[in-house]
Amino acid sequence: MGRRSDHTREELRALLISRGHALMAEQGLAKFSGREVAKRAGYSVGTIYNVFGSLDGLIATINSHTFSLWADHLHKRLDAAGEDRIKALVEGYFDFALEHPNLWSAIYEHRLAEGEELPEREQGQRAALTAIVEQEVRAALSDPDMPGAARFARSLIATVHGHCSYVVSGTFALLDEPDPVGSALARVRESIAAQRVELAVTSSFN
């Protein structure tokens, strides 16, 4: 078969991402198959290479889309949050991962081939999540312009990420941790409190 007009280029792109996303959610990266995605979309394998350049390209796009869903989830959680926005953030981080463990894990299991880079559009999708956290952390710091606030926020993301990845991978279950979210939140609070104190001490010398 040759050229078809069932879908525009954009529609076809969206279709493949959608089907691919569904397959990733069902099976995880290890059992993900480009051929299966194509079959579900009603196209042949080659089309993936035509649209995304490579299978890695499709997977990266699927993962970037997961980032977007994750950011949406955090926004909703924050909109519904009361005073304790940091808690909402940490809980939102965790429950997205636990609701979609395969999608979430795929983000971290997939590596781009050396030399490859994400298209700008996708870098933006991924950076959005960091931006949300940075904003909230700044607010919690009382001095939103604290030097190094961005780095500090990323470090807190890493802290929560570590706890979350232990939960999703089952490591924490094995270690019989009753409340991983609570632990992560406790660590985050301790670090934020430490920054506040440091700030207070610094200020008192001015």
Partner DNA sequence: TTAAAAAATTAGACAGCGTTCAGTTTTATG
Partner DNA sequence: CATAAAACTGAACGCTGTCTAATTTTTTAA
* Interface contacts to DNA, rule CB under 7 A: 1-7, 9, 12, 32-36, 38, 42-47, 49-51, 54-56
First vs last C-alpha separation in the chain: 76
What is the closest distance, in whole angstroms, from the C-beta atom of residue 26 to DNA in the complex? 12
- d(Cα 180, Cα 97) in Å, to the nearest integer? 13
65 neighbors 19 (Cβ within 8 angstroms): no
- Could you say which of DNA, a copy of itself, none residue 95 binds, taking C-beta under 5 to 8 angstroms by partner kind? none
**Cβ of residue 9: shortest distance to a copy of itself, in angstroms?**
29
Rounded alpha-carbon distances, angstroms, from residue 137 to 9, 91, 130, 151, 152: 40, 15, 11, 11, 8
Question: Does 193 contact a copy of itself by CB under 8 A?
Answer: yes
Closest to 66 measured CA to CA, from 15, 101, 34: 101
- For DNA, the closer of residues 109 and 177 by Cβ is 109
The single residue among 44, 151, 200, 202 that binds a copy of itself, judged by CB under 8 A, is 151
DSSP string computed for 37-74: HHHHHTS-HHHHHHHHSSHHHHHHHHHHHHHHHHHHHH
**If binding is defined by CB under 8 A, does position 70 make contact with a copy of itself?**
no
Exactly one of 43, 93, 96, 172 binds a copy of itself (CB under 8 A); which one? 172
Q: Does 21 help bind a copy of itself (rule: CB under 8 A)?
A: no
The answer to whether residue 187 forms part of the interface with a copy of itself (CB under 8 A) is: yes
Is the Cβ of residue 25 or residue 45 nearer to DNA in the bound state? 45
Cα–Cα distance measured from residue 196 to residue 71, given in angstroms and rounded to the nearest whole number:
27
Binding status of residue 159 toward a copy of itself by CB under 8 A: yes
CB 92 within 8 A of CB 133: no
User: Under a CB-based contact definition with an 8 Å cutoff, are residues 86 and 188 in contact?
Assistant: yes
Residues that bind a copy of itself (CB under 8 A): 30, 108-109, 111, 123, 130, 151, 154-163, 165-166, 169-170, 172, 174-175, 177, 180, 183-184, 186-187, 190-191, 193-194
